[in-house]
């Protein structure tokens, strides 16, 4: 009989599947990471609706602009399910493109409104957009039918910006811009109505509660266990948790940006070109990156590239009996890119092509970062400390330079020093859906280097390698692997799943062990963790390996 519980039951799996599909689509269309900028700390939190019918319309974005500012947007598309999610994705993409292409913010907004007017699914979509200029704290904003942003002060105060009086997008109500100012340390919070709408409460009461809770979160001196101590993250996390603790029937979105009093200072080191210097450089650079709160993938890529380039300078820039110095400079630029520069005053010798086990360092570095530039400045053209070489410089400008995604090639024996500049965009994970981070933020606690060995009853040598394998530990690993394999006279299985960083020195050691085994008719089997950086490096240098699940 229609309407009975018995008839409804077969449909329940389909409902759950639909809800899961909408949630996954919504998560795929939202930004997975947020830009890391010198003068603005940005955080976001998105929770999918508690009811499947309501999911799909909320969205957020944070877009670095060519002017040095950052655009913060939170919006809501009318409707539910897949249709609303698809429309949301279109609106977000168009707004981001227009903000990047148009210098005039007002013009970009007018074109966005015109686009929404042409799309039935986007008519009456609401939008709160705020553009923060980190140079002076100026905040230009509009509220197109959306609740106004909340400003949270450093002393526990909170105030709402005045609504600009603009109607939703596509409703013949052209967006109007207003202006305000932040003081250093203040946070601007953009949010969706799911955070202020409560059963039995007016919107005004919900907004008053949001202001109180957000101010309390910002003023908290001791963050909860596991929480990021930065104010923007704390405001997003605690505000959403406290206001949705009793459940929520609509999507909930919060996007916060704190105008920082001072950016993380640039890093500068000058160390002797000796192997112990690599450990100091690794630790200092790791600490500097951790202060920025980058996503693990970006952290690992930049750290690996720096280690490779610094190792290259130690090993090849100077004669062994006449060591020199190696400088490391790093800074975070206004566009969210890290500029990392390693400089020596030695002689450049390009990677050789005769040995398969050598010359991988610069290739690996160039593959894992967005851009790498190798240059040989003349004394009068050398950049000042803390600055990266200008893009595109060449011999006419006093340098011989090669920009590359792999190894650089320049004239043999170029004297006068070498600068290798790395450029890579940093991002911070957003917190989406169930509240889980897409990625870990700071560098994980790195296990110490170790090699555990054994020989099985079948006369197969086994080794488990953990920790970083670089110029300071690679030789030890190679000796241990050769020792357990009896100089290559018995097969060897080396588990590298616990290796946190495999530098070119480690690659060279593995090639040497593999060659020794091959000379005795045996194979070296390498095991890596699925999707690991170690596996990526081995793929780049053409060393065969299997994942743990395949071994």
Asked whether the domain spanning 450-547 has the same topology as the one spanning 267-429, the reply is no
Residue 373 has pLDDT above 70, yes or no: yes
Higher per-residue confidence, 193 vs 326: 326
pLDDT at 434 over 50: no
Which residues are CB-contacts of 285 (< 8 A; sequence separation ≥ 6)?
267, 302, 303, 306, 328, 330, 340
Which residues are 160's β-sheet partners?
150
Angle at which helices 81-101 and 12-29 pack, to 10 degrees? Answer: 0
In tens, the pLDDT along 210-244 reads 999 999 999 876 555 544 458 899 999 999 999 88
Cβ contact 218:266 at 8 Å? no
**Residue that the structure tokens 């890290």 belong to:** 338
Q: What is the pLDDT of residue 200?
A: 74
pLDDT at residue 98 tops 70: yes
Cα-Cα-Cα-Cα dihedral of 488, 489, 493, 494, to 10°?
Answer: -30
State the CB neighbour count (10 A cutoff) for residue 408.
22
199 pLDDT tier (thresholds 50, 70, 90): confident
Tokens of 184: 């250093």
Report d(CA 170, CA 239) in Å as an integer: 31
Rounded CA gap, 470 and 279, in Å?
A: 9
Q: How many CB atoms lie within 10 A of CB 331?
A: 20
> Of 10-19, 299-308, 355-364, 460-469, which range is least confident?
10-19
495 vs 400, higher pLDDT: 495
Query: Rounded to the nearest 5°, which phi and psi values hold at 454?
Result: -165, 165
Cβ–Cβ < 8 Å for 134, 182 = no
At 274-298, the pLDDT tens digits run: 999 999 999 999 999 988 888 888 9
Q: Which of 151, 125, 127 is nearest to 139 (CA)?
A: 151
> Looking at the domain 13-259, which fold is it?
Phosphatase 2c; domain 1 (3.60.40)
Distance CA 404, CA 422 (A): 10
For residue 317, pLDDT over 70 is answered with yes
Q: pTM here?
A: 0.75
In this structure, what token pair is assigned to residue 33?
A: 């990471």
Packing angle of the helix pair 361-368, 296-316 (nearest 10 deg): 160
Q: How many CA atoms lie within 13 A of 72 on its CB side?
A: 30
pLDDT at 331: 97
Count how many residues are written for the chain.
551
> Contacts by 217-222 with C-beta closer than 8 Å and gap 24+?
217/242, 218/152, 218/153, 218/154, 218/156, 218/187, 219/155, 219/156
Spans of all domains in the chain: 13-259, 267-429, 450-547
Is 54 or 271 the better-scoring residue by pLDDT? 271
CATH of 267-429, one of 3.40.50.10190, 3.40.50.150, 3.30.565.10, 3.40.1160.10: 3.30.565.10
Apex CA 154: angle with CA 152 and CA 159, to 5°?
Answer: 25
Give pLDDT, residue 446: 65
For residue 478, name the pLDDT band (cuts at 50, 70, 90): very high
Q: Select the highest-mean-pLDDT range: 240-244, 367-371, 410-414, 495-499.
A: 495-499
Whether 309 has a pLDDT exceeding 70, the answer reads: yes
For 328, residues 6+ apart whose C-beta sits below 8 A from its C-beta are: 267, 268, 269, 270, 271, 281, 284, 285, 306, 310, 340, 341, 342
pLDDT for position 459: 85
Q: Which fold has domain 450-547?
A: Transcription Regulator spoIIAA (3.30.750)
Higher pLDDT: 361 or 148? It is 148
DSSP assignments along 353-406, one per residue: SS-TTSS-HHHHHHHHSSEEEEE---TTTPPPTT-PPPTT--GGGT--EEEESS
Nearest to 86 by CA among 122, 62, 117: 122
Least confident window among 197-201, 238-242, 392-396, 428-432 = 392-396
Collapsing DSSP to helix, strand or coil, 289 comes out as: helix
């Amino acid at each position: 009989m229609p309407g009975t519980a018995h008839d409804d039951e077969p449909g329940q799996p389909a409902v759950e599947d639909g809800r899961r599909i909408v949630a996954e689509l919504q998560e795929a269309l939202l930004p997975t990471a947020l830009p890391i900028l010198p003068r603005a700390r940005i955080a976001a939190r998105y929770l999918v609706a508690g009811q499947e019918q309501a999911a799909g319309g909320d969205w957020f974005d944070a877009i670095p602009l060519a002017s040095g500012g950052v655009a913060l947007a939170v919006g809501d598309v009318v409707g539910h399910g897949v249709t609303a999610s698809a429309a949301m994705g279109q609106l977000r993409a168009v707004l981001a493109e227009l903000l990047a292409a148009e210098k005039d913010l007002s013009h970009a907004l007018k074109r966005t409104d015109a686009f929404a007017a042409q799309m039935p699914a986007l008519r009456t979509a609401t939008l709160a957009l705020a553009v923060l200029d980190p140079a002076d704290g100026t905040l230009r904003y509009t509220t197109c039918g959306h609740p106004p942003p909340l400003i949270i002060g450093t002393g526990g105060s909170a105030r709402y910006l005045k609504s600009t009086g603009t109607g939703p997008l596509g409703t013949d109500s052209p967006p109007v811009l207003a202006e305000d100012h932040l003081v250093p340390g203040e946070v601007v919070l953009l949010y969706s109505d799911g955070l202020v709408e409560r059963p039995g409460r007016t919107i005004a009461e919900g907004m008053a509660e949001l202001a109180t809770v957000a101010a309390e979160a910002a003023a908290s001196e001791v963050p909860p266990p596991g929480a990021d101590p930065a104010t923007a993250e704390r405001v997003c996390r605690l505000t959403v948790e406290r206001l949705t603790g009793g459940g929520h029937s609509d999507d909930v979105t919060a996007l916060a940006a704190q105008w920082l009093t001072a950016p993380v200072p640039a890093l500068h080191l000058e160390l002797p070109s000796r192997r112990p210097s690599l450990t100091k450089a690794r630790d200092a650079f790791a600490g500097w990156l951790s202060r920025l709160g980058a996503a693990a993938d970006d952290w690992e890529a930049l750290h690996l590239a720096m280690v490779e380039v610094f190792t290259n300078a130690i090993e090849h820039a100077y004669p062994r009996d006449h060591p020199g110095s190696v400088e490391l400079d790093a800074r975070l630029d206004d566009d969210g890119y890290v500029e990392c520069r390693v400089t020596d005053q030695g002689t450049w010798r390009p990677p050789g092509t005769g040995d398969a086990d050598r010359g991988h360092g610069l290739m690996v570095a160039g593959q894992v970062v967005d851009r790498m530039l190798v240059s040989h400045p003349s004394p009068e053209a050398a950049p000042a400390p803390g600055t990266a070489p200008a893009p595109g410089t060449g011999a006419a400008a006093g340098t011989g330079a090669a920009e590359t995604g792999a190894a650089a090639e320049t004239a043999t024996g170029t004297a006068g020093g070498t600068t290798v500049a790395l450029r890579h965009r940093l991002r911070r994970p957003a917190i989406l859906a169930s509240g889980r981070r897409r990625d870990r933020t700071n560098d994980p606690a790195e296990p110490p280097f170790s090699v555990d060995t054994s020989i099985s009853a079948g006369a197969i040598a086994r080794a488990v390698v953990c920790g970083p394998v670089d110029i300071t530990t690679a030789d030890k690993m190679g000796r241990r692997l050769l020792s357990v394999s009896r100089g290559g006279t018995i097969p060897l299985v080396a588990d590298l799943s616990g290796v946190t960083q495999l530098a070119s020195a480690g690659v060279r050691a593995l090639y040497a062990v593999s060659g020794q085994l091959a000379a005795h008719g045996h194979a070296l089997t390498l095991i890596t963790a699925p999707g690991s950086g170690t596996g990526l490096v081995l793929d780049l240098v053409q060393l065969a390996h299997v994942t743990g699940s395949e071994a």
